[in-house]
């Protein structure tokens, strides 16, 4: 056997539905559809044997894990390092508003978010450093089996880039990560292998077709 990490993005929030910046500075709850997404994941993966559950402390992640955690003899390992990127002054704003009000910062960030942060926010390289600490913790604890990690859109994409040897500055342009999606990486003898990217087959057609990001 080998170690498999399941990266689950939280379910729908009002912010993801409206496509506004929603980072670590916004503790958005799930919508009713977001709660349905969380339950759909729990139902689809009810027979999966989890060694551990890891979760961002933000409400939208904790609530997404709740239906899965509630039927298991496991307590979530909450880690601040799994929080979403900090969008600083951009929190709650649309991309169009940010481009208008913080034009130069937005242009720099769009070109290379690894080293250029949102205004008073975090650069992607900082998220890579902190989130990889959790991966190293997990690898230090487990050699094989399944571990669930509930986190956020940017954080998951940054982690995937970091683990797969892709420039972190390209995280916005290399991987999709819609709400409620699951990506799976297996650690084998040749390093991390991407098995599944942004899967939402556990949703019915209505949940899959909802608007938002």
pLDDT exceeds 90 at position 95: yes
- pLDDT bracket for residue 44 (50, 70, 90): very high
pLDDT at 138: 98
Residue 21 DSSP SS3: coil
Averaged over 194-204, what is the pLDDT?
98
Say whether pLDDT at 166 is over 90. yes
What is the Cα–Cα distance from 168 to 124, expressed in whole angstroms?
A: 7
Which of 3.40.50.1240, 3.30.2320.80, 2.60.200.20, 3.40.50.300 would CATH assign to domain 6-208?
Answer: 3.40.50.1240
Separation between Cα atoms, residue 19 and residue 92, nearest integer Å: 9
Q: Residue 66's pLDDT band (boundaries 50, 70, 90)?
A: very high
Work out the average pLDDT over 115-140.
Answer: 98
Q: Is 127 exposed, middle or buried (0-12, 13-18, 19+ CB in 10 A)?
A: buried
Answering whether pTM is above 0.75, one says yes
Q: What is the pLDDT of residue 163?
A: 98
How confident is residue 113, by pLDDT bands cut at 50, 70 and 90?
A: very high
How many other CB atoms are there within 10 angstroms of residue 14's CB atom?
Answer: 14
Average pLDDT, the chain: 97
Q: Which residues contact 172 (CB under 8 A, 6 or more apart)?
A: 113, 154, 157
Structure tokens at 95: 């991309």
Q: Which residues does residue 146 pair with via DSSP β-bridges, in sequence order?
A: 4, 50
Q: What local confidence, expressed as pLDDT, does residue 17 receive?
A: 97
In this prediction, residue 1 has a pLDDT band, given cuts at 50, 70 and 90, of: confident
Beta strands in the chain (DSSP E): 3-9, 50-55, 77-78, 145-151, 182-188, 191-199
Confidence of residue 209 (pLDDT cuts 50, 70, 90): very high
Residues pairing with 3 in the sheet: 145, 187
User: How much is the average pLDDT of 163-192?
Assistant: 96
- 208 token code pair: 């899959």
Helix, strand, coil share (%) of the chain residues, nearest 5: 45, 20, 40
pLDDT confidence band for 189 (50 / 70 / 90):
confident
Pairing outcome for strands 191-199 and 182-188: antiparallel
Question: Rounded CA gap, 99 and 79, in Å?
Answer: 32
């Amino acid at each position: 056997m080998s170690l498999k990490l399941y990266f689950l993005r939280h379910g729908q929030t009002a912010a993801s539905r409206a496509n506004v910046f929603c980072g670590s500075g916004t503790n958005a709850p799930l919508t009713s559809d977001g709660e349905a997404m969380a339950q759909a994941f729990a139902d689809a993966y009810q027979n999966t044997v989890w060694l551990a559950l890891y979760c961002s402390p933000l409400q939208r992640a904790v609530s997404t894990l709740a239906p899965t955690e509630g039927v298991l003899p496991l307590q979530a390992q909450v880690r601040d390092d799994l929080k979403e990127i900090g969008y600083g002054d951009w929190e709650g704003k649309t991309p169009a508003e940010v481009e208008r009000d913080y034009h130069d910062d937005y242009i720099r960030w769009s070109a290379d978010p690894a080293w250029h942060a949102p205004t008073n926010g975090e650069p992607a390289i900082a998220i890579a450093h902190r989130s990889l600490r959790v991966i190293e913790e997990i690898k230090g604890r487990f050699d094989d089996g399944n571990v669930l990690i509930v986190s956020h859109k940017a954080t998951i994409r940054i982690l995937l880039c970091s683990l797969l040897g892709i420039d972190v500055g390209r995280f916005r342009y290399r991987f999709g990560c819609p709400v409620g999606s699951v990506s799976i990486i297996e650690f084998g003898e040749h390093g991390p292998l991407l098995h599944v990217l942004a899967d939402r087959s556990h949703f019915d057609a209505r949940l899959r077709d909802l608007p938002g990001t």
